[in-house]
A = this chain, B = another copy of it.
Amino acid sequence: MKSEIILNISVDCVVFGYDIHTKSLNVLLIKRYLESEKMVLVDDYVLTGYHVYKNETLDETATRVLKELTGLTDQYKKQFKAFGDPDRLLNPKDLIWIKNAEFHERTTTVAYYFLLKTEDVNLKNNNYHAKWFPVDTLPELGFDHEQIILEAYEDLKVKCLSEPIIFKLLPDKFTINEVQDLYQSILGIDIDNRNFRRKLINKKYIIALDEKQVGVSKKPAQLYMFSKEVYDKVFQKNYLISI
């Protein structure tokens, strides 16, 4: 037995996926397409999202939406902002679209972002024509979803500097250079490899494994893992005021 939906509250999910091979931070988007006999009415992309059910929490909605699209559960997620402007769904294409959906014109959406690896998502036989787009070359987007993505990205940029969420975007076993590449992708900066390497290796919760890369056509790199247990033990708040 399904619960009823709340017509004017939705959750939208910015699904960030890192492609370790192309070193690209991507966003997972679904196709929005509608045509009349004569012409294409709507043809763009949107975030995945859905209404909140009457008996579920916002977090549960987000989890459900992600599972529906990707099959994945237990991925890192963060609620980062609510978007509720009265005109956020009111440009012409969106109105056409809303007419065809069970959707209130004045819907407030609570936006989440997820962090995962593109390779964990199987896009074959996907009902939504979902596709990955690099976060810096987004396609045309419906509703206010471009703004939502950009704000999610901003939040991610800030957060990855102070919390070890970067590892949510990487496989369990990774090389130091892969972490550096990821930081560079997210932040759009260059990082000195020697300094970065020293810094990371000195962290007690970055643990060198007894393993090296296999199947690479070059010198195979040392693999490391991130230990959340050690991190939690070692971590201490610092109250450094840097204004």
Residues of chain A touching chain B, judged by Cβ–Cβ distance below 8 Å, are 6, 8-9, 52, 54-58, 79, 81-86, 106, 108, 110, 160-164, 166, 183, 187, 189, 199, 203, 238-243
Contacts and interface: CB of A to CB of B under 8 A. Distances in A.
A203 B241 CA distance: 12
Across the A-B interface, the 7 shortest Cβ-Cβ residue pairs: A58-B84, A82-B82, A164-B243, A82-B110, A57-B85, A55-B86, A187-B239
Contacts of A243: 161-164, 166, 203
Given A52-B84, A55-B86, A58-B108, A239 B161 contact: yes
A57 B84 contact: yes
Q: Copy number of this protein in the oligomer? A: 2
Contacts of A203: 243
Contacts of A85: 57-58
A183 B56 CA distance: 39
Contacts of A106: 6, 54
A183 B241 contact: yes
A57 B86 contact: yes
Contact of A189 (B55, B161, B183, B239): B239
Nearest to A104: B6
A161 B84 contact: no
B240 A161 contact: yes
A8 B106 CA distance: 12
